[in-house]
Structure 1
Amino acid sequence: MANIVQFENVGLRYGTGPETLSDISFTLRSGAFYFVTGASGAGKTSLLKLLYLNQRPTRGVVRLFGEDTVTLPRKRLPGFRRRIGVVFQDFRLVPHLSSYDNIALPLRVAGIPENDIEAPVREMLAWVGLTDRGKAKPLTLSGGEQQRVAIARAVIGRPEILVADEPTGNVDPDMAERLLHLFDSLNRLGTTVVVATHDFHLLNRIPTAHMMRLDKGRIHDPTGALRHPAGSNE
């Protein structure tokens, strides 16, 4: 599998404070599943922001899809971002839009004709188990339902990378299992999946997943930056 993401000696500082991330180096393989773990405040969200191009590093090199994003012209950023799906911890659904319209939003922004939108949106609603909730507004949905709408919105454009920030933090254990199953299903279709979590009980739910642990802004693993599944030769 080719490398889809590469970080080289990356550091991130907000303002004049100390570095939030320091000397981060790793590669992510296309089509693999990754957990980013660590305690609250370890730097997981900051790392994900670099991955989905919400933030540029203070130093170092971040390559996505073979290109250096630090020197990438700003006019090319929207095209890169469309190749990345993001599931935020706080969902970020548009409150006045229905589930259907929230999921359809990325397609409309991309200029997809309306006649070509309904079928994939209906498919996504069925995929996340919300066929009968298409007309519901976010405030009428449970936390788990909102999260599933957010996931459907993130993946409807068939992103090459899916980034999820603590996607199971606001749901019960049964729903957490269901959400992980959705991510695993998407990964099996070829999408590279990166899930940040501080819930160590989830790590064994995806036996093929790779793991990266952050501690105080640094990758911490005595055997290397990425710990691969048992039996892997990578």
Structure 2
Amino acid sequence: MATIVQFENVGLRYGSGPETLSDVSFSLQSGTFYFLTGASGAGKTSLLRLIYLAQRPSRGIIRLFGEDAVVLPRARMPGFRRRIGVVFQDFRLVPHLTAAENVALPLRIAGLPAGEIDTAVREMLAWVGLGPRADARPATLSGGEQQRVAIARAVINRPDILVADEPTGNVDPDMADRLMHLFGSLGNLGTTVVVATHDLHLLTRVPGARMMQLDDGRLLDPTGILRNPPPQSPSPPLVTA
């Protein structure tokens, strides 16, 4: 499997405050499913923002699709972002568009024929249980329905990378299982999937999924030990009388 995302000693700092992420290093393989876990404030959302190019790191190297994303020219950013599907915690649906029109956006940007778009959108909305709500606008949808529209929009064009920030937070357990099955199917088709969650019960829903855990901005290895522990200050010399 090819390495599609690679972080090397990445740090992220907002303003002059302490680092939100420190010395984060990992590689993600194509077609592999990863859960990103950690307590609230551990840095999960910040790490996802770095992957989908909404944020540049303060230091370190990030490679996406084999290229250095930190020095990527601004003109090439849109092309990279079209290969990444994102499910945001706050949905970010376009309020004046219907559910179907929101889901269709990635396909319209890609220039697909209208007939293909309509068919794909109908099938996707039916899969997430929103076929009858295709013409509804976001303001008339419940939180869980808006979440499903956001997920359908993120996955409809089978992106190379899918990142999802707490995607099951507003749906019932049955729908959460369906969404995990959908994400897992994308992985089988070659998409690299990263799902940030605090719901540890989800970890059993996707066979073969791997786990990354953040603790106060640092990545733990599978045994729960820091992969890149902070350097230790030398102990002061013993003073004897």
TM-score, normalized by length of structure 2?
A: 0.88
Residue number in structure 1 paired with 2:89: 89
Residue 164 (1) aligns with residue 174 (2): no
Q: Percent identity between the aligned chains?
A: 77
Residue number in structure 1 paired with 2:131: 131
* Deviation larger for 146-155 or 215-224: 215-224
CA distance in 2, matches of 1:3, 1:224: 24
Q: Is the 8 A contact 2:211 2:222 kept in 1?
A: no
Read off the aligned partner of 2:14 and give its amino acid letter.
Y
CA distance in 2, matches of 1:222, 1:127: 34
Q: Is the 8 A contact 1:48 1:163 kept in 2?
A: yes
Post-superposition offset of 1:125 = 1.5
Read off the aligned partner of 1:4 and give its amino acid letter.
I
Residue 193 (1) aligns with residue 193 (2): yes
Q: Is the 8 A contact 1:165 1:196 kept in 2?
A: yes
Find the residue that maps to 2:122 and give its secondary structure: helix
Read off the aligned partner of 1:26 and give its amino acid letter.
F
Residue number in structure 2 paired with 1:207: 207
Residue number in structure 2 paired with 1:12: 12
CA distance in 2, matches of 1:180, 1:170: 14
Read off the aligned partner of 2:102 and give its amino acid letter.
N
Find the residue that maps to 2:171 and give its secondary structure: coil
Q: Is the 8 A contact 1:144 1:175 kept in 2?
A: no
CA distance in 2, matches of 1:104, 1:83: 15
Post-superposition offset of 1:223 = 4.0
Q: Is the 8 A contact 1:31 1:190 kept in 2?
A: yes
CA distance in 2, matches of 1:175, 1:117: 24
Residue 68 (1) aligns with residue 73 (2): no
Q: How does 1:142-153 map to 2 (within 5 A)?
A: 142-153=142-153
How many residues align structurally?
227
Read off the aligned partner of 1:49 and give its amino acid letter.
R
Residue number in structure 1 paired with 2:238: none
Find the residue that maps to 2:21 and give its secondary structure: strand
Residue number in structure 2 paired with 1:232: none
Q: Is the 8 A contact 1:8 1:60 kept in 2?
A: yes
Find the residue that maps to 1:117 and give its secondary structure: helix
Post-superposition offset of 1:192 = 1.0
1:8-33 CA distance string (max 9 Å, x none): 00000001111000000000000000
Q: How does 1:6-45 map to 2 (within 5 A)?
A: 6-45=6-45
Task: Give the unaligned 5+ runs of structure 1.
Answer: 227-234
Find the residue that maps to 1:206 and give its secondary structure: coil
Read off the aligned partner of 2:161 and give its amino acid letter.
I
Q: Is the 8 A contact 1:7 1:62 kept in 2?
A: yes
Residue number in structure 2 paired with 1:58: 58
Q: Is the 8 A contact 2:212 2:222 kept in 1?
A: no
Sort the Cα spacing of 1:111 and 1:221 in 2 relative to 1 into closer, same or farther, 3 A. same
CA distance in 2, matches of 1:186, 1:126: 17
Read off the aligned partner of 2:214 and give its amino acid letter.
L
Q: Is the 8 A contact 1:128 1:182 kept in 2?
A: no
TM-score, normalized by length of structure 1?
A: 0.91
Sort the Cα spacing of 1:186 and 1:225 in 2 relative to 1 into closer, same or farther, 3 A. farther
Task: Give the unaligned 5+ runs of structure 2.
Answer: 227-241
Read off the aligned partner of 1:148 and give its amino acid letter.
R
Find the residue that maps to 2:204 and give its secondary structure: coil
* Deviation larger for 165-174 or 25-34: 165-174
RMSD: 1.9
